[in-house]
Amino acid sequence: MVDELDFQKMGGLVPCIVQDADTAQVLMLGYMNEEALRLTLATGRVTFYSRARGELWVKGAVSGHILELVQLSTDCDRDALLALARPLGPTCHTGAVSCFPAAPPLCTLGSLARTVEARRQADPETSYTARLLQGEPRRAAQKVGEEGVEVALAAVTQPSEELLAEAADLLYHLLVVLTLRGLSVPQVMAVLQARSNA
C-alpha cells in the first residue's frame, strides 16, 4: 500500500480520514507521510505526521485515547486514506467523541452495541442489560421473540410513535442476543451487504 500511494501530490503527505469501525462515525482528519503510514501498519495504532510540529504523532500517545487500526484503504486516485479504527476514548482534543459536531443517526446503533458490551461486567442488580447478559441466554432470546410480536402488532394496530418505540425495543434486545453470542452489528451488516450484491 505504501508504494502505491501518491505522496508527492500534496508535498509528501496524504490526508487520512478516521472512521469508527463499529459506529461508522467520522472521528477526525489527519495527514500521513510514508513513515507514519508504515508505523500505523506495523503497530496497529493510527499514527499521523503533525504539520504544525513537523514530527510523527501517535494519536492518543499522551492521553491514552489511541486509535486501534482495524482496516486501512485508499481512495480511487490513491492520494487519500480511510482508516477504520476503534477509539479507546474520545478522539477530539476537546474531549468530544469526534472532531466533527454530529454523528449520523445510524451511528447510534453501533454506539448502543458498544454500551451493551460494556454492561457485560456491570452489576445485574442495577443494570437490566447486565441481568440479560449474565442470565440464562434463553431469557434474552425470549425477549427478542416478545418484542418481535409487539412490533408486528404495533404495525397494524398502533400509531406510528408506538411502532417506533417497539422497534427500538426490538433492536436493543437483538443487540443483547448478538453480544451474548459474541457477534456484532458489522457482521450483520456484512451479511446484508453480501445479499445486496447477490
Boundary residue ending a domain (58, 87, 116): 87
Nearest by Cα to 27 from 97, 74, 80 = 97
- Residue 54: phi, psi to the nearest 5? 70, 40
Q: Is the pLDDT of residue 10 over 90?
A: no
pLDDT value, residue 119: 94
pLDDT digits (tens, 9 = 90+) for 133-168: 999 999 999 999 999 999 999 999 999 999 999 999
| 148 in the same domain as 117 | yes
As a whole number, the mean pLDDT across the chain is: 92
Are 174 and 137 in the same domain?
yes
Return the pLDDT at 45. Answer: 97
pLDDT classification of 3: cutoffs 50, 70, 90: confident
Domain final position from 57, 87, 117:
87
CA distance 116 to 130: 8
Please tell me the distance from the alpha carbon of residue 112 to that of residue 123, in angstroms, as a whole number: 18
With a CB cutoff of 8 Å and minimum separation 6, the contacts of 71 are 21, 83, 84
Q: Looking at the structure, do residues 111 and 191 belong to the same domain, yes or no?
A: yes
- Asked whether 184 and 22 are in contact (CB, 8 A), the reply is yes
* Enclosing domain of residue 55: 2-87
Read off the pLDDT of residues 81-107 as tens digits, 9 standing for 90 and up: 999 999 999 999 899 989 998 777 777
Residues 62 and 126 in one domain: no
Q: How many domains does the chain have?
A: 2
Question: Per the domain annotation, does 98 fall within a domain?
Answer: no
| Contact criterion met (CB below 8 Å) for 79 and 6 | yes
> pLDDT-derived band of residue 36, with 50, 70 and 90 as boundaries?
very high
pLDDT attached to residue 133 = 96
- What is the average per-residue pLDDT within 117-130? 94
Report pTM: 0.71
Q: Residue 47: inside a domain, yes or no?
A: yes
Which pLDDT belongs to residue 122? 94
Output the DSSP codes for 44-65.
SB-EEEETTTTEEEETTTTTS-
Q: Higher model confidence: residue 197 or residue 58?
A: 58
Residue 168 lies in a domain: yes
User: Do both 79 and 113 map to the same domain?
Assistant: no
pLDDT tens profile 23-35: 889 999 999 999 9
65 and 136, same structural domain? no
Tell me the C-alpha to C-alpha distance, in Å, between residue 134 and each of 112, 120, 145, 183. Answer: 18, 7, 19, 16
Identify any residues that bridge with 18 across adjacent strands, giving them in sequence order.
Answer: 28, 83
**Cα 128 to chain center, whole Å?**
23
178: domain CATH number? 1.10.287.1080
One-letter amino acid of 177: V
Does a structural domain hold residue 94? no
* Position 96 in a domain: no
- Residue 100 forms part of a structural domain: no
